[in-house]
């Protein structure tokens, strides 16, 4: 794992050096949360609701408590007494009235809602004892559909809210009525449904929480990926000040946003630890994870109308969106604004009206899942474009290219004030189609005659991965929220013998932060990444941080590496100053390379880093008082993007700093007899600006692609009418395997971002492009009189039915109204 020196003119940035993290992970020496062990620890197990919606009549813990080795049991009623306040809510009224505690109080609102938690001597005993907690439930009718939930007659989840509608907003930019009136064609789409799934990180949630009476601090060792958010939410509920509530993690086994959502359990574990006087160790079982760790957002789009000119220009659209947040608002309703970072997707749409309703339902609470809230909207837009192409007879490739934001348009301001930084979408699409050799497949598609039993389809998914959020967009949801901007912190120091050490505010989950931060710092300090040690993981007591710290939302390459670069530059300046003093040379003649400082035209006059460190740490009487005072060789830097506060009235502003793009192309084969969808070819074209480590970027592209294909074809969380989850394990939830995943071809363009310190853009989420591409390809394989692909999840049975929808005369889900003078126009050419 040694790295070799780059040619003098090159930088470490941009090279696919191998990861330093790998050695420990390949040898079973990583430290994941379940590997953490504390003296006197007990094992925790949650008692979860077997029903979708019910009143809790009573909870009897006596049978469980009698087991030898059970240390403590907590119930919702007890938790309510212990907590000064329920969890802070992001939502304004009425959603803000939801009172959520670490355990369910009075009612359970979804299958898996936690009503009690047990601490016991062993894992097995904790689970047994949880099974002996007797809960008497009075079942209530459930509501599992977001549109139905908005009906005033629907069963009510949170009585104090008065409705299941927790947030509602009108997003209206441009003049969509004008566009619809002046369009040559209006394409109307009845209903589009984006389904529930999750990236289901392979390591489940876990935490070891110790409410330590000795120091009166709460120590949380966990795999939560956004620990400062968790701290700010649970601190007040626990009645613990933030400087006495400390989070740490080393290795995290995947997160994808889902691990933002473990804070209610962590809060319950803190109370359990306090009650038992012991550390509480919790490792979620997979079944618990599927039931309660958080699912991605499900969204329905009703009565969509798209305004199209006869030359193919798409003017805009209007729709009614219903978002299903599940039973409680965890991080929601932020999703109700986050989609608007990409309100027009890759396209120059100027007239947009979205009537947005967010409801609660008797389902697992949603939590940001890779592509959070944008992939739902991007999928919707890609369906819109494909449906328009099909209904009006346009070539879907040409229609996309015509309506894409063009390379000459950057920086491109969207109708809601977001600024797209750079890119080349038409070329990206061409390259993606080249990678799959699209003409070859078109030919094959034509050759496949009726009776072959197979159909071929080619599909495109165009996406933006918006990165580095402006948290000020939260004010569009709730104008009273005191949040705006973003940032990340890093700390770079020269240690006692001149070693370079870096620590970050981030919580990496496989993205290679130790490696890429070392590349960036090595460039600034003129050394090799091997000479830069990046502390593994996050430790609130040792690392530096800001309230935004963590790893989420496609931003490390900008915020994390921006902070590392800034801190390294500060350290470089300090080193140069000490060297200038030691060598008695002007500071602008000091050069730094390979761990040495020397005078430019007289390289014999040199001082190594160890000498610089010696002067500051252990030999400071030789310094001037001024240098002693000012130089520490311990440099902190907080990178902050240049954001302003968005306008909650017009719902406009610069909501994100960077826009990476991914354009995917795929070829599917449908089996007419079974509905099986087989992927014959797949390509992903990625443009994330300057790539710090191309191999790691490619790895992210592969991973996001596989998760998207899995979601499109295999992975779904579905509930029955009473609110029972049908896929609560990896038996029923088919996480995509090596057999289901095609070999993914990857290509790239680098359009550096003019807005970031290093030209990079965040890119980890990928925008859900495979969902769009696979749906697009299935659509392409269907007959013109078949129904449109209106669901993001297309298992065999749904595809089988779609292939028969035309001949059965089923509603197609789409109608077109054309002006009389537009009929037979260019549009059908």
Q: Point out which residues bind other proteins (CB under 8 A).
A: 1, 18-19, 21-32, 34-35, 37, 67, 122-125, 128, 199-204, 251-254, 256, 283, 285-287, 509-512, 695-696, 698-700, 702-707, 729-731, 735, 737-739, 741, 743-744
Q: Closer to other proteins at the Cβ: 1 or 496?
A: 1
CA distances from 71 to 37, 78, 140, 211, 500 (A): 17, 16, 33, 15, 46
Smallest gap from residue 744 Cβ to other proteins (A): 5
Minimum CB separation from other proteins for residue 511, in Å?
7
Contact present, 465 and 420 (Cβ < 8 Å): no
Nearest to 728 by CA among 371, 352, 292: 292
Q: Minimum distance from CB of 30 to other proteins (Å)?
A: 5
Question: Tokens 């999840």 map to which residue?
Answer: 793
User: For other proteins, which is the closer residue by CB, 202 or 241?
Assistant: 202
Query: Residue 261 or residue 648: which is nearer to other proteins going by CB?
Result: 261
Q: Single out the residue of 521, 623, 527 nearest to residue 580, CA to CA.
A: 623
DSSP 3-state percent helix, strand, coil across the chain (nearest 5) = 30, 25, 40
296: nearest Cα among 218, 381, 364, 196: 196
What is the rounded distance in angstroms from the CA atom of residue 548 to the CA atom of residue 563? Answer: 13
Which parts of 584-639 fold into alpha helices (H)? 609-617, 625-630
Nearest distance from C-beta of residue 684 to other proteins, angstroms = 10
* H-state helical runs in 485-560: 513-525
Closest contact distance (angstroms) between CB of 285 and other proteins is 5
Q: How far is the CB of 213 from other proteins (least distance, A)?
A: 26
Closest CA to 457 of 398, 396, 391, 404: 396
For the bound state, the minimum distance from the C-beta of residue 560 to other proteins, rounded and expressed in Å, comes to 16
Q: Are strands 70-75 and 114-120 parallel, antiparallel or unpaired?
A: antiparallel
- Closer Cβ to other proteins, 208 or 343, answer by number: 208
Cis, bond preceding 411 (omega within 30 deg of 0): yes
Taking each continuous run of H as one helix and of E as one strand, the counts in the chain are: 22, 30
Tell the smallest beta-carbon distance from residue 201 to other proteins (Å). Answer: 6
Q: Which of residues 608 and 694 has its CB atom nearest to other proteins in the complex?
A: 694
For the CB of residue 65, give the shortest distance to other proteins in the complex, in Å.
13
Which residues pair with residue 280 across a beta bridge? 42, 209
Q: Is the peptide bond before 94 cis (omega within 30 degrees of 0)?
A: yes
CA angle 698, 700, 702 (to 5 degrees): 70
Cα(575)–Cα(259) distance, integer angstroms: 39
DSSP three-state, residue 230: helix
Of 670 and 701, the one with the shorter C-beta distance to other proteins is: 701
Nearest approach in angstroms of CB 143 to other proteins is 29
Nearer to other proteins, 188 or 702 (CB): 702
Which residues face 593 on adjacent strands?
Answer: 596
> Based on CB atoms, which residue is closest to other proteins, 574 or 715?
715
What angle (nearest 5°) sits at the alpha carbon of residue 767, between those of residues 391 and 773? 40
C-alpha–C-alpha distance, residues 570 and 740, integer Å: 49
**Would you say 265 or 361 has its CB closer to other proteins?**
265
Residue 24 or 97: which CB sits closer to other proteins? 24
Pick from 574, 487, 572: nearest CA to 532: 572
- Cβ closest to other proteins, residue 436 vs residue 546: 436
Instruction: For residue 333, say if its preceding peptide bond is cis, omega within 30 degrees of 0.
Output: yes
Q: Which tokens hold the place of 179?
A: 């566009």
Quote the least distance from Cβ 369 to other proteins, whole Å.
12
Contact 601, 631 (CB under 8 A): no
Contact 258, 735 (CB under 8 A): no
Minimum CB distance to other proteins, residue 687 (Å):
19
Residue closer to other proteins (CB basis): 452 or 726: 726
């Amino acid at each position: 794992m040694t790295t070799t020196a780059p040619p003098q003119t090159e930088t470490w940035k941009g090279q696919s050096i191998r990861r330093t993290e790998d050695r420990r992970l390949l040898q079973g020496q990583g430290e994941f949360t379940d590997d953490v062990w504390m003296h006197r620890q007990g094992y925790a197990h949650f008692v979860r609701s077997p029903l979708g919606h019910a009143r809790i009549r009573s909870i009897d813990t006596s049978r469980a408590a009698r087991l030898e080795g059970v240390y403590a049991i907590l119930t919702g009623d007890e938790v309510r007494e212990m907590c000064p306040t329920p969890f802070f809510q992001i939502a304004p009224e009425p959603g803000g009235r939801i009172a959520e505690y670490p355990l369910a109080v009075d009612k359970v609102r979804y299958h898996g809602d936690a009503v009690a938690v047990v601490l016991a001597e062993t894992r097995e005993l904790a689970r047994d004892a949880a099974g002996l907690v007797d809960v008497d439930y009075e079942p209530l009718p459930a509501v599992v559909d977001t549109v139905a939930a908005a009906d005033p007659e629907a069963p009510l989840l949170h009585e104090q809210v008065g409705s299941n509608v927790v947030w509602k907003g009108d997003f209206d930019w441009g003049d969509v009525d004008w566009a619809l009136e002046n369009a040559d064609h209006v394409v109307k789409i009845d209903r589009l449904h984006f389904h529930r799934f999750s990236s289901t990180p392979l390591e489940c949630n876990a935490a070891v929480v110790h409410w330590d009476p000795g120091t009166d601090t709460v120590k949380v060792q966990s795999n939560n990926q956004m620990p400062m958010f968790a701290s700010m939410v649970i601190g007040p509920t626990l009645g613990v000040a933030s400087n006495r509530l400390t989070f740490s993690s080393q290795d995290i086994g995947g997160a994808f946003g889902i691990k933002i959502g473990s804070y209610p359990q962590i809060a319950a574990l803190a109370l359990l630890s306090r009650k038992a006087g012991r550390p509480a160790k919790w490792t979620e079982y997979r079944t618990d994870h599927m039931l309660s760790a958080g699912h991605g957002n499900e969204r329905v789009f009703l009565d969509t109308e798209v305004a199209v000119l006869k030359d193919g220009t798409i003017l805009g659209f209007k729709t009614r969106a219903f978002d299903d947040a599940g039973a409680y608002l965890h991080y929601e309703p932020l999703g109700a604004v986050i989609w608007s970072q990409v309100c027009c997707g890759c396209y120059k749409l100027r007239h947009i009206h979205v009537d947005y309703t967010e409801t609660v339902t008797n389902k697992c609470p949603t939590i940001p899942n890779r592509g959070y809230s944008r992939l739902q909207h991007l999928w919707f837009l890609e369906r819109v474009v494909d449906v328009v192409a099909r209904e009006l007879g346009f070539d879907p490739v040409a229609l996309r290219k015509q309506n894409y934001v063009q390379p000459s348009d950057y920086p491109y301001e969207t109708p809601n004030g977001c600024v797209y930084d750079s890119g080349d979408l038409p070329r990206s699409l061409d390259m993606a189609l080249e990678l799959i050799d699209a003409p070859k497949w078109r030919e094959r598609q034509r050759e496949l005659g009726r009776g072959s039993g197979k159909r071929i389809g080619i599909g495109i998914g165009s996406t933006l991965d918006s990165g580095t959020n402006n948290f000020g967009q939260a004010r569009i949801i709730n104008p009273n929220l005191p949040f705006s901007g973003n940032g990340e912190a890093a700390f770079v120091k020269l240690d006692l013998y001149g070693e370079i050490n870096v620590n970050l505010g981030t919580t990496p989950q496989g993205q290679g932060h130790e490696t890429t931060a070392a590349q960036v710092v090595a460039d600034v300090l003129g050394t090799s990444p091997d000479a830069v040690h990046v502390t593994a993981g996050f430790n609130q007591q040792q690392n530096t941080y800001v309230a935004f710290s963590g790893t989420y939302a496609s931003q490390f390459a900008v915020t994390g590496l921006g902070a590392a670069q800034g801190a390294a530059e500060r350290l470089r300046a300090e080193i140069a100053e000490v060297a200038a003093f030691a060598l008695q040379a002007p500071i602008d003649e000091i050069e730094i390379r390979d761990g040495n400082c020397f005078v430019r035209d007289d390289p014999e006059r040199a001082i190594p880093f160890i000498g610089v460190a010696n002067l500051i740490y252990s030999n400071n009487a030789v310094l001037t008082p001024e240098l002693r005072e000012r130089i520490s060789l311990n440099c902190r830097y907080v990178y902050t993007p240049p954001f302003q506060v968005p306008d909650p009235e017009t719902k406009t502003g610069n909501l994100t700093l960077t826009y990476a793009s991914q354009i995917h192309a795929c070829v599917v084969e449908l089996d007419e007899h079974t509905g099986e969808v087989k992927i014959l070819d797949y390509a992903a074209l990625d443009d994330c600006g300057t790539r710090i480590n191309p191999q790691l970027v490619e790895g992210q592209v592969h991973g996001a692609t596989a998760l998207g294909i899995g979601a499109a074809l295999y992975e779904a969380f579905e509930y029955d009418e009473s609110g029972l989850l049908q896929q609560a394990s990896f038996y029923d939830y088919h996480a995509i395997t090596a057999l289901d995943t095609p070999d993914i071809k990857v290509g790239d363009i680098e359009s550096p971002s003019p807005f970031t310190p290093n030209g990079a853009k965040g890119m980890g989420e990928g925008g859900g492009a495979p969902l769009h591409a696979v749906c697009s390809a299935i659509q392409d394989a269907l007959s013109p009189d078949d129904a449109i692909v209106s669901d993001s999840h297309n298992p065999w049975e749904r595809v089988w039915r779609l292939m028969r929808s035309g001949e059965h005369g089923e509603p197609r889900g789409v109608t077109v109204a054309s002006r009389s003078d537009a009929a037979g126009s260019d549009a059908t050419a």
